[in-house]
Amino acid sequence: MGAMNPVTTSPPSSDVPPRKRHLRRALLLALVALGLILARPAERHLRAASLLVRFADERAQGLLADFGKHALDESTTTVPTSGGEVRARIYAPRGVTGGPGVVIVHGVHRLSIDEPRLMRFSRAVAAAGFTVLTPEVKEIADYRIDKASVETIGAAAQALRERLGGRPVGVMGMSFAGGLSLLAASDARFASDVGFVVAIGAHHDLGRVLHFFATNEADRPDGRKDRLAAHEYGALVLLYSHIDHLVPAADAPVAQDALRLWLWEQHDAARARARELSPEARARVEALFEGKADVPALVNEIAQDAKAVGAVSPAGHLGALRAPVFLLHGQGDTVIPSAETLWIAEEVPPALLRAALVSPALVHVELQGEPTVAEQWQLVRFMAGVLDAAEAS
């Protein structure tokens, strides 16, 4: 993402020839004049670009990286839910009172709110003037896609809204947490707490995602299909969440331990744990480790449980949304295909859909390589829209 920032450290003015200094001053004045003409839109786009540059490189320096940048205070806290308190972290910009807030929900990862990329992104957003709350969603941290997570996300929005004096806050969810964040915003219990939603790499219908894992084909709303090689990670996460479809109930706890260790990339420990299983269960788990399991048949079994799949799918619920929605997805995503964002965009009430960007600059929820100027501009414009919604909430 470094190419986004064209500003480099200039030599001292005494080392610059007078003619070049005059030209530079003229260009600077032209930029100032342009900023005055465009006023807030230019300021928002600069803040958005600055945020993205800092996320791409936390050590970035220069005019763009430092534009509108706030020093931060970080602290741990808790969020009350009906199931007890959950751990959370606050990133607060110094000197900002009455500013916007956003709940950023981590993706499927055992480090949850301590995951370095999430922390870097949260700092980048907070440095732009947001108070950021990152709640630990226990089910997602345990590689489970569970309806209980919806309440945790909604409770985090309530807690941050109270902290900010009653001002509705944004909710930004990554990967499967993006779909669950949309469900939280659609829930009448939390609708008044949510000022806007950003779903990054989100799912719309878990059953359709399971079909993708089984067939390597992602169905689009227009009837076309995207043919992609589904990443084994997504299927493993969902098999872990539905271990009863893999092994008998008596073997389920040990099999889940083994699969958890495999997802953590502790492969030797996973194989050792699998040796404690019954012969039949061990054979099935080891076949999964070795890439020899009939994954399509297994995920098709899960997909047949329509009630469980529907409980964690935004599909059919988005008509209840009251907050503006921003959708962002990596074009070549092989965990949750980008077609899912197209389906979400179809269902979100048109007056609330502010942006739906499918970008080749992303892989799942991460930036990749060196985006083109056009791709960078699309991301800047997308984030500028989010900043605008945040100010208006």
Say if residues 262 and 236 touch (Cβ distance below 8 Å). Answer: yes
Evaluated on CA atoms 54, 335, 327, 165, the torsion sign reads negative
Q: What is the DSSP letter of 166?
A: S
Say if residues 122 and 134 touch (Cβ distance below 8 Å). Answer: yes
Strand ranges (E), the chain: 72-81, 84-93, 101-105, 131-135, 169-174, 194-200, 217-219, 225-227, 325-330, 353-359, 362-363, 366-367
Say if residues 151 and 180 touch (Cβ distance below 8 Å). Answer: no
Q: Are strands 217-219 and 225-227 parallel, antiparallel or unpaired?
A: antiparallel
Entry pTM: 0.85
Q: Tens-digit pLDDT profile for the chain (393 aa)? A: 333 322 222 233 333 333 333 333 443 444 444 443 444 567 777 787 777 777 777 776 665 666 667 899 999 999 999 999 999 999 999 988 888 999 999 999 999 999 999 999 999 999 999 999 999 999 999 999 999 999 999 999 999 999 999 999 999 999 999 999 999 999 999 999 999 999 999 999 999 999 999 999 999 999 999 999 998 888 889 889 889 889 999 999 999 999 999 999 999 999 999 999 999 999 999 999 998 888 888 888 888 888 889 999 999 999 999 999 999 999 999 999 999 999 999 999 999 999 999 999 887 766 676 778 788 888 888 998 999 999 888
Helix axes 206-215, 232-241, angle to 10 degrees: 130
How far is Cα 346 from Cα 350, in angstroms, rounded to an integer? 8
State the residue for tokens 């985006």. Answer: 371
Measured from the Cβ of residue 381, the count of other Cβ atoms closer than 10 Å reads 15
Q: Where in the chain is the domain with CATH 3.40.50.1820?
A: 72-207+309-392
Return the C-alpha torsion angle 363, 367, 372, 377, nearest 10.
110
Say if residues 299 and 210 touch (Cβ distance below 8 Å). Answer: yes
* Architecture of the domain defined by 72-207+309-392: 3-Layer(aba) Sandwich (3.40)
